[in-house]
Structure 1
Amino acid sequence: MTTREARDPVAVVRENLAEWEVPHVELDVFGTADAAAIVEQVDEFVRRHLGPGVAAYLFCSSSVGSTHGLILADGRRVVLKARPPPDTNPDLPLDRESLRQVVRVQRFLTAHDYPCPEPLLEPEPLGRGLATVETYLDAGRLVDGHDPRGRRLIAASLAEHIALLRRMPDPPRLDHFAVPDARLFPMPHGKIFKPSEPDTGWVRALARRARDVTREVDSALVLGHCDWRVEHLRFADERLVVSHDWDSLSMRSEVGIVGVNAHGHTADWSQEQIRRVPTAGGILGFIADYEAARGEPFTREQHRAARAWAVYSIAYGAWISIAPGDTDWPEDSWPALLRGCGEDLLR
């Protein structure tokens, strides 16, 4: 993996802002889309809580939150993760107590030598939201989630941390992207998504059928990462050496966590040249790889529920991405995947 170089903070933040027609995340967090003002807020925050100020930036990216890779004046490399106010999306655990529990899980994992960032700061107010700081990890390499070998590494490392978290005393009941009872889908995870209800009737019909299947099957509740995919993982010598995005923790059925991750394990939105969505065979292969790493196969009903969770997750991706009037989608898209294999996976 290429080591990131130190760069001018304002230039790095400005480049990230330029990628968005409207930088909703930064507006929600910092109340401004001015790069210099954002850097000023970040610098003041780290001075207040960590002592040294910001000397340089390694990166800046936006997704659910605004993430800043920093070099501090004392040479430390850290990552500041700023989240929008909790009421921005009630279906995501952005409140202070939930973020504190994520930090607690990360501390448990690092205490057991699991390769995730070590928290340096509990959630504290930054701008309109909350921010944490953790160690910057830059080791290992990406794997190809479409390659059976890479897929096995991803599935096995998922099984590994779920098994480890079973040993955690009083694990938190986090509800990341929970499926609400009163609604078919959670609130879209970004303001850039504007679902077209008239064009997604077939998507919602498949999602309802998939959700019905998931509710018919008993599976133990476990704590696990629900965005366990290529972009967030690095490997070296057949072992996981870096894992990111632990805000995606959730307490849900084991088959639910496996199905959600089977649907998205190949995704890396930082790269343009790769296929992001899996194939039907890749989804089934991921579930089988997880069962092998787990050391015990799912029952027939549990396997069907894992597939249904994958279909539901694909349907969510299709729901938020279909624009009004869309009827033809690129092969590397959630609508095309759902159209091509949704029915088969539910059988």
Structure 2
Amino acid sequence: MTSREARDPVAVVRENLAEWEVPHVELDVFGTADAAAIVEQVDGFVRRHLGTGVAAYLFCGSSVGSTHGLLLADGRRVVLKARPPAETNPDLPLDRESLRQVARVQRFLAARGYPCPEPILEPEPIGRGLATIETYLDAGRLVDGHDPRGRRLIAAALVEHIGLLRNMPDPPRIGHFAVPDERLFPTPHGKIFSPSESDTGWVRALGRRARDITRAADSPLVLGHCDWRVEHLRFADDRLVATYDWDSLAARPEVCIVGVDAHGHTADWSQEQVRRVPTPEGILGFIADYEAARGEPFTREQHRAARAWAVYWIAYGAWISIAPGDTDWPEDSWPALLRRCGEELLR
């Protein structure tokens, strides 16, 4: 997150809303797509809980939740993250207790010098959902996840925070995209996605095979960030200085966390002119870099399971993005990547 200019709140929110044909997240959270009304709710929230108002906006963005970078009237720079009601997506940790546990993990890491935002306010009601406030980290730069050096830095930073969290007393069992056996994939993480079941039979077949393979490996349960990728990380030289999106924390088998992060480590959806999806070689390279930083290789079964988890999440991305009748996909897309390397990675 580079340095941001303080700007008019309504203008910043309006620009974010204009990026969406239907701003589902803001409608779910605030009950409105009117920029001025959203700013009014945000300002009222920080006045109630922090005792000061919003002077200007640093940024505004939408994904699973609605995120607002704020310059407060007392000079503080903070980030308000507003999530939709928990029932909006039962496969994501949107309930109050899960968000409290995420905040507990952030405090644990920050107290040990790990560069994640420190919670300022635990979840409180805003509109129809819940919001938290945390410190604003504005340091460092992006690395290139396709470059071996950048990939090694990303993998090593994942090893570091998983290692720290192994020593956390009473670690929380946070669920993130964990689905029951009767369902293959989690509920799509955004309402903009409408999977075409008739056009994704081959995708679901690969996803099912991948999931079956993951069950054959014995892997310890760990806490780790499950969206550990270029867009959420900043480095100064070779040192990690800022991390974002800790709502993606989950307690999962280690090979699952490595697989999901191998599949997505190159993605930066905030930039148009960069390749988002990795190459098959990049996926294998990330797993190898993780093993090297870990100081101990996976067993053969664990390595195969990590690759299978990568295939599973590539299949999820393909499943939610294939439109009815769509059979020709750009190279930088999940369906194209799955078609290219799904079978290879499962072998």
Band the TM-score falls in, shorter-chain normalisation: over 0.9
Give the residue type in structure 2 aligned to 1:291. E
Runs (5+) with no aligned partner, structure 2: none
Matched residue, 1:322: 322
What is the TM-score with the length of structure 2 in the denominator? 0.99
Does the 8 Å CA contact 2:2/2:140 hold for their aligned counterparts?
no
Describe the superposition over 1:295-341 as per-residue Cα deviations: whole angstroms up to 9, x where unpaired.
00000100000000000000000000000000010000000000000
Matched residue, 2:141: 141
Give the residue type in structure 1 aligned to 2:214. T
Count of residues in correspondence between the two structures:
347
Could you tell me how far apart the structure 2 residues matched to 1:81 and 1:320 are? Answer: 25
Matched residue, 2:237: 237
Could you tell me how far apart the structure 2 residues matched to 1:237 and 1:150 are? Answer: 10
Could you tell me how far apart the structure 2 residues matched to 1:222 and 1:180 are? Answer: 19
Taking only aligned residues, the RMSD between alpha carbons, in angstroms, comes to: 0.6
Matched residue, 2:221: 221
Could you tell me how far apart the structure 1 residues matched to 2:160 and 2:294 are? Answer: 8
Could you tell me how far apart the structure 1 residues matched to 2:50 and 2:128 are? Answer: 20
Could you tell me how far apart the structure 2 residues matched to 1:325 and 1:296 are? Answer: 45
Describe the superposition over 1:36-92 as per-residue Cα deviations: whole angstroms up to 9, x where unpaired.
000000000000000110000000000000000000000000000000000000000
Alignment partner of 2:67: what SS?
Answer: strand
Q: Does residue 285 of the first structure (1) align with residue 280 of the second (2)?
A: no
Describe the superposition over 1:207-265 as per-residue Cα deviations: whole angstroms up to 9, x where unpaired.
00000000111100000000000000000120100000000000010000000000000
Alignment of 1:185-334 (within 5 A): 185-334=185-334
Runs (5+) with no aligned partner, structure 1: none
Matched residue, 1:106: 106
Matched residue, 2:38: 38
Alignment partner of 1:43: what SS?
Answer: helix
Alignment of 1:108-123 (within 5 A): 108-123=108-123
Could you tell me how far apart the structure 2 residues matched to 1:344 and 1:179 are? Answer: 25
Matched residue, 1:3: 3
Matched residue, 1:163: 163
Could you tell me how far apart the structure 2 residues matched to 1:136 and 1:242 are? Answer: 10
> Runs in 1 of length 4+ with deviation above 2 angstroms?
none
What is the TM-score with the length of structure 1 in the denominator? 0.99
Shift of 1:178: 1.1
Alignment partner of 2:60: what SS?
Answer: strand
Alignment of 1:39-118 (within 5 A): 39-118=39-118
> Sequence identity, in percent?
87
Matched residue, 1:18: 18
Describe the superposition over 1:246-301 as per-residue Cα deviations: whole angstroms up to 9, x where unpaired.
00000010000000000000000000010000000000000000000000000010
Could you tell me how far apart the structure 1 residues matched to 2:78 and 2:164 are? Answer: 25
Could you tell me how far apart the structure 2 residues matched to 1:112 and 1:178 are? Answer: 28
Alignment partner of 2:120: what SS?
Answer: strand
Shift of 1:2: 4.0
Matched residue, 1:346: 346
Give the residue type in structure 2 aligned to 1:224. G
Could you tell me how far apart the structure 1 residues matched to 2:132 and 2:180 are? Answer: 27
Does the 8 Å CA contact 2:195/2:320 hold for their aligned counterparts?
yes
Alignment partner of 1:184: what SS?
Answer: coil
Could you tell me how far apart the structure 1 residues matched to 2:51 and 2:177 are? Answer: 35
